[in-house]
Each structure stands twice: as C-alpha cells, then as structure tokens.
Amino acid sequence: MTRQEAEQLLQNTFKLSHFYDEQWAAIDKLLKGEQVLLIEKTGFGKSLCFQFPAVLHKGMTVIFSPLIALMRDQVKKLNLLGIAANCVNSEQTPEENTQIIKDAISGEIKILYIAPERQENSEWVEATRRMNLSMVVVDEAHCISVWGHDFRPAFRRIINLVNLLPKGLPVLATTATATKRVEADIAAQMGGNLTTIRGNLMRDNFRLLVIKVNSDDEKLIWLGQNLGNIPGTGILYTGTRVNTEIYSKWFEYLNISSASYNAGLDPESRIAVENGLMENRWKCVISTNALGMGIDKPDIRFIIHTQIPQSPIHYYQEIGRAGKDGQPAYIILFFYGEDKKLPEAFIEGGRPAIPKYEKVITAIKNEMLGERELMKRTNLKQTQIRVIKADLIEQKIIREVTVGKSKKFEYIPGAPQLNTKTFEELRASKTRDLDKMLEYVETTQSRMKYLCDYLGDSSIHDFTNCDNTGLKKRTVSVNEEWTKKLQDFREDYFPELDVETKGANLVIGIAASYYGVSNVGGALHRSKYENAGDFPDFLLRLALKAYRKKFGQEKFDLILYVPPTKSGDLVKNFAVKVSEVLKFPISHNLIKHRTTSEQKVFENSYLKSDNVKDAFELKTPDEVRGKTILLIDDIFDSGSTIKEIGRYLSNLGAVKIAPLVIARTVGGDLV
C-alpha cells in the first residue's frame, strides 16, 4: 500500500489528513510484517502507528499496556470512530473480561488492550489459542528494561512471548522515554530484525521553572500564594501518599479546589478522580506519580513537583503529560536540600538486605509456597517479598507457577547463587541518575536542552523556555501572615484511621498526629522506651483536639483502652485522663488473656493479625452490650489490634467502636 492510498484510508477512518513521516515509516514496516521500536514523545501520535495497521489487518491486534486509564481512554475514542476495540483488565469484573475474551475469539474485536499481567492468567492463555491474531504491540516498552525508570517484571514474559512469535508477524514496541542504554537493552531483548525509529523530545510550549526553597513549609506557602494565579488546571506531584493527603488538606483549608489520588485508592475512586481531572473539576489533582501516565488530556496547564524525582527520565515522563495541545504549560519543580533524602532512601532501601533474600531462597527451596505463606514463613513485609521475588525470578533462582488456581513459587533446580553484583550496579546507576536530576536543579543552561541531552536526543533547537533562558526566576516570600496560616492549619489537621471492617461495628477513628512527621513521635518514644514517665500533656491536648474535630460533641457510653504488651500503664493513665476531661466512664476490664509479642516485631499484617487473634478478653462481657465505645491506644500501625478488639467487642454486642490514638505510623506494610 502506498502512502497516498494509506492517507486516503486515514481520512476515511480516523478523520486525519496525513501521517507524520516517522509515523508512516513505522506503519509501512508493520504492514510488511516487520518489528519496530518507536521512541517518540508524548503527544506525537504513537497510537496511530498501531491503530491504523490494526484496522487493515485481517485478524486482531493485541496491545500489552500497563496503563488501565489509557486503555479505557483509547477504547472509548476508537469506539467513537466506529472501530471495534475493547480492553481486558483487573478493574473490570471477571464476567466482563470473560465476555470480552469471548468476543475476541469470535472475531468481533479488532483491537484488544490487555495488561501484561494477563499473560499469567490461564483463561486468557487458553483463549489465545482460538483467536485470529495479526499483530502484537508492547506499549511503554521501557518497562522491559531494568535500566529504565519503571521496570516491571510482567514485561519480561511479554518479551519471551515476542521471541516465540513466528517470523512475519508484525510487532511494535513503543515508548516516550528511553535513554540510549534503555533503547539498546530493549532492542537486544526483542532480538531479531528490529528497526528503531526515534523522534526528537523538544517540547517548546513548556515553561520550565525551578523554585529553590528552604523548607517544606515554604513550598506550602508558595503554592498557597501562587497556585491560583497559574492559568488552567493541572497536577501536583508529591513524593509520598502522606503528602498527597497533607497538601490536599492544606488546599482545602485555603479553599483551593483539589482532589488527591494515589495507587492505593479503590478503582471507583480512581476513575472518579481521573474523570474529574478530564472535566477540570478542580484547580489541581494532587497525586503520587501513579496518576497521569496514559491519561489523554490535551490541556493540562501545569505540572508541579513538590519532591524531586529520582532521575531526569522520571521527570521527563511525568511532565510529558502537560500541554499536549501545544499551548503553554508551566512545569515547576520545588527543591530544597533535604529533598534528596527521599530518593536516596528509595535507592538505598529499594532492595531488602541480602540475608532476607537468603531467607526467602531457603524457604522456597524447602517447599513450594504462595506469597502469603512466604510472608508468614519469613516474617517479611509484602513490599519486600515482592522486590525479592522479582529479583529472584529475574536471576532465574525461583519461578512462579500455577498450582490449581493459586500462584506458588518454586526453586529452580541447579539455580545459580544470588548475584548481588547486579544490585550494586543498579544502585550505582540509580545514584548517577539522581545526581543528574540534582544537576538539573543547579544548571544554568537551558533546562529543556539538559533533559533532551540526557535522553539521547541531541537535535538542535532554539531553547528559550526556562528560567535560565529568559523566563523570570521565581522565589518564595515568607511573611508573618502566611506563617500564621500554616501554623493554624497544622494544629487543625489530624490523620484519620480507616478501620472499618467486615463483622465489626468499627467506625473511622482519628489520630492526634502522624508518627514521624512532628514532635509527637519523639515524645511517645521517650515515654515508652526511655522511662520519661507518662505521655506529656501536650499529647493529651492534641488528642482531645483531634477528638473534637472528628466527633464534635458526640458522647460515648464507655472508654476502653488497649491493654499493653510491655509499656506498663502509659496507655491506661492516658485513657484515664481522657475520660476525666470528656466525662465518659472508663472500664479497666479489657485484658489480654494470653501473652502476645509486641506488634512491631512482625513485619507484615498477616503475622500481626495472627499475633493478636483471640488474645483479648473483657472480664465483664455484659458491660458493652448495646454501648458505644471510644477505644484508646498510643500508636496505630497496621490496625490489626484495633480490628481484632473491634470484632471481639462487636460480638459482645457493642454497637459502635471508635478508635482514638496518639499517633499513626506512616506507611504500614501492605502498601
């Protein structure tokens, strides 16, 4: 097919007049059954490069994409054009997915998006035997490479699959962000006759600014003062989930409309925020970097980072979502010296200590284990198990197999020793990347050029789109008014405890503070472990304030407190004081009828639950029947203890149990 003929078809089907040269180069090769790696910036029109040939092919095209939001979005658009497209993903019900797979088998779907993890699903693999497949696309192909910024183990299998495909079946791999090293890695892994097409990365509608500050407070203040003045709507990226919460409460306090988003939200909430973003419902969406990849919103007018990303690739990828319509977009990065500690901690702590790896290897050598069994055997956090598991699979020491319906890990006979050198190389490489990101902050050259150079694009442009090349430099002016505002906000902000659970009449409770974020943690630690006596009075004041904020003038029938494992009467004395102020009766009858270990000994919530299971007893069980209970403890971590007591009291007839604690830890183990 000539380009002219193709463009005629393009007009008819996609309502577009022509291809870019690089698009046609890719499409031409795919139509000839070749393999192509396409590296083009966001907004270039990579999708058309597979959607167009997909329409021409007799059979179906399968697109492996890690981004569910993108799947949904593209399916919607293709359907509007009258092209039969659909997606299979974990956010749809199994029945929906089964139906879509059936449609795919009967040839009713032209373009099917699926997540790479789907290759682990036997229903899918079984179904592929009966599909008429014409082309395979690997989207976000940088996820194939451990040298990229977002390596995903599930992509390893997709690569193996690609290598098993027969000659002559067109394969397209696409990415917006690949350094030369990642490009080479992808090409090597895909093997064979791969043609790489690489475009330029210049985004001249960006307004790149770096704002250096002296504290996190100054970031909050600058945003309070200026966010309203930036045109349009956009995204604010924070480094942690806790910070998405803090920033969103701050904006709420200032009456700036915002929504917060992170990967921990349930699918409905996530879809709601994504839709709200599309409809400009808020000035900004505050998010961890989980949001935005693949969201096809042309008019994101600003992207602000309150926390420096780990590398220029992360940064380019995240800001790439702004200004796809070509109109100006503000790209702001805050920085103060302490900020580098978070990415440093990610790099240092990205991998568990080697003995933990050995522990996992030994456990799996002895028996075939699922993830949950493995967590129980090794007392490791789920996050750590997942990192270790991915590394061990990568190093061909273990593999994941399906036994019946469950996934188990098995040891590979004759496997090599754990290679820790790779870990050191990766760490060194990540440290270099972080240094390069820090250099971006300090550079006096064009920031756009700096990013393009880093990503292996050395094409020549007129770079005038940053605060080093003509745009005004921004700084923070802290004044008394704003310092006061921030202070008031801080004293009025308390983390919630989401403990609602099946089979218990627990309601959402409240903590006086986060454990690591303020002076609260230190005070608790001194009382608990350094014999500093009762919890100081300021903790009581703060806890009561949190109580008032959450529960107002509500009365509870009874105060109970969590009986201690070790730290004596601290919680009891604290609860007595709360009871004196709030004038609710207190009971001392909740006890442990068997010894438990301190919860902090256990690294994961399965073991924490096991530790406290059936450990509590109310000496006077009738005391709580039909009552509302305020349940007091010092530190809230996984919530296992509160939930266990909640279930127990509910069984005894308590109608409402609300937890009040002094501090809530940041994180928990089941992220």
Distance, C-alpha 372 to centroid of its chain = 21
Find the angle CA(214)-CA(219)-CA(224) to the nearest 5 degrees: 140
Distance, C-alpha 35 to centroid of its chain = 32
31, 288, 428 from 497: Cα distances, Å = 56, 20, 39
Considering beta carbons, is residue 399 or 525 the nearer one to another protein? 399
Considering beta carbons, is residue 29 or 408 the nearer one to another protein? 408
Cβ distance 426 to 387 under 8 Å? no
User: Least distance from C-beta 160 to another protein, angstroms?
Assistant: 5
Torsion angle defined by CA atoms of residues 537, 538, 544 and 547, in that order, rounded to the nearest 10 degrees:
-140
Helix, strand or coil for residue 466? strand
Considering beta carbons, is residue 325 or 400 the nearer one to another protein? 400
User: Least distance from C-beta 173 to another protein, angstroms?
Assistant: 16
Chain residues that interact with another protein, rule: CB under 8 A: 119, 122, 125-126, 128-131, 133, 157, 160-161, 164-169, 365-368, 399-404, 408, 410-414, 416-417
User: Least distance from C-beta 394 to another protein, angstroms?
Assistant: 13
User: Least distance from C-beta 389 to another protein, angstroms?
Assistant: 14
User: Least distance from C-beta 400 to another protein, angstroms?
Assistant: 8
The answer to whether the Cα torsion of 127, 128, 133, 138 is positive or negative is positive
**Rounded CA separation 642/638 (Å):** 9
97, 126, 147, 510, 593 from 153: Cα distances, Å = 23, 22, 13, 38, 45
User: Least distance from C-beta 159 to another protein, angstroms?
Assistant: 10
> What residues contact residue 481 under an 8 Å CB cut-off, 6+ apart?
none
Distance, C-alpha 421 to centroid of its chain = 28
User: Least distance from C-beta 228 to another protein, angstroms?
Assistant: 52
Helix, strand or coil for residue 190? helix
Considering beta carbons, is residue 9 or 127 the nearer one to another protein? 127
Burial of 187 (0-12, 13-18, 19+ CB in 10 A): middle
User: Least distance from C-beta 70 to another protein, angstroms?
Assistant: 22
User: Least distance from C-beta 168 to another protein, angstroms?
Assistant: 8
9, 13, 415, 416 from 399: Cα distances, Å = 46, 45, 11, 13
Considering beta carbons, is residue 157 or 427 the nearer one to another protein? 157
